[in-house]
Amino acid sequence: MIGGRFVPAGKLARAALTTMAIGCLLGGSAAGIGERQSPASPEKLDFTSTGSIAGGIFSSVAFPFKPGIATRWQEIEKNAGQLGPGNCDGDATCRTRLGILEEAVKATQSLPLAQKINAINRAVNRLIDYRSDKDVYGTLDYWAMPKEILAIGKGDCEDFAIMKMAALRSAGVPAESMALVVLRDSGRNFYHAVLAVSTSSHTYVLDNLRDVVLTDRQLPQYQALYSLGAQKAWIHGYKRGSEFAMQKRPTSLETIQPGEGIPNPS
């Protein structure tokens, strides 16, 4: 509880993000919003900063903090903004997957924003196979560069989010309108990561669990924990009396086994 009013999502400010626990599961489907948006009411990207994402996503409140992997995240974000053959370091597999992704990005250039986001979400979901960091890198948690993800073709949920961020930046979506959000799926009771894109009317959630993009309001089971944006980061909490504020949660991310499915919430 902060100032007697808010309950933060665990003692995350003291936990290094390198201990992030994200047990990602594949599968599931849901009806989305992209197809229902009227072309007569185009949306505009939110250029105010990703604070607009962090402050209210999944009905949370947010407080700025400095993540333990700030340096690594800056490297990832820089690499995501320079997606191109030169970033593949001569790796043929990386260049092949990059070519597929570039074609997908090119195909979205004339699409309305919601359709563009849906197309990129679907393309990345089909480009990468889900594997835990332990399976791919032999460690419980590893933050991969886009070029590493493209070379291996496998990754966990934050890898999907990172690749979608890189693809959307290549498609012209500014970094300031996006954030990688780490959350808890209360329905399945596991930790997860998604990419959020903020517009003038919605916050869209690009998720490796589904090809169709939903808004954060369509995902009430998602509890935001912390998020990373363009040179900014936030810890998320919930107002006293809300469902998530009342739930038992780990006192620290260090108590969660990352990348191994459903965590022990004790």
| pLDDT digits (tens), the chain, 266 positions | 334 444 444 443 344 333 343 344 333 333 344 444 444 456 777 644 444 454 579 988 888 877 777 788 899 998 898 888 888 988 999 999 999 999 999 999 999 999 999 999 999 999 999 999 889 999 888 889 999 999 999 999 999 999 999 999 999 999 999 999 988 888 888 888 999 999 888 899 999 999 999 999 999 999 888 888 987 888 888 876 666 654 555 565 444 443 444 444 33
pLDDT value for 244 = 63
Q: Which two tokens stand for residue 17?
A: 């993000």
**DSSP character for 1?**
-
How far, in Å, CA of 230 to CA of 217, rounded? 23
Q: For the chain, how long is the longest CA-to-CA vector? A: 56
Is 6-255 a domain of CATH 3.10.620.30?
A: yes
pLDDT value for 18 = 35
Alpha-carbon Rg for the chain, nearest whole angstrom, is 17
Going by C-alpha positions, the residue among 22, 6, 17 that lies closest to residue 160 is: 22
For residue 180, which amino acid is it? Answer: L
How far, in Å, CA of 103 to CA of 98, rounded? 9
For residue 249, which amino acid is it? Answer: R
- Write out the DSSP string of 144-183: --HHHHHHH-EE-HHHHHHHHHHHHHHTT--GGGEEEEEE
How far, in Å, CA of 112 to CA of 220, rounded? 26
How far, in Å, CA of 178 to CA of 191, rounded? 20
pLDDT value for 265 = 39
Q: How far is CA 216 from CA 167, 202, 205, in A?
A: 21, 8, 6
pLDDT value for 243 = 64
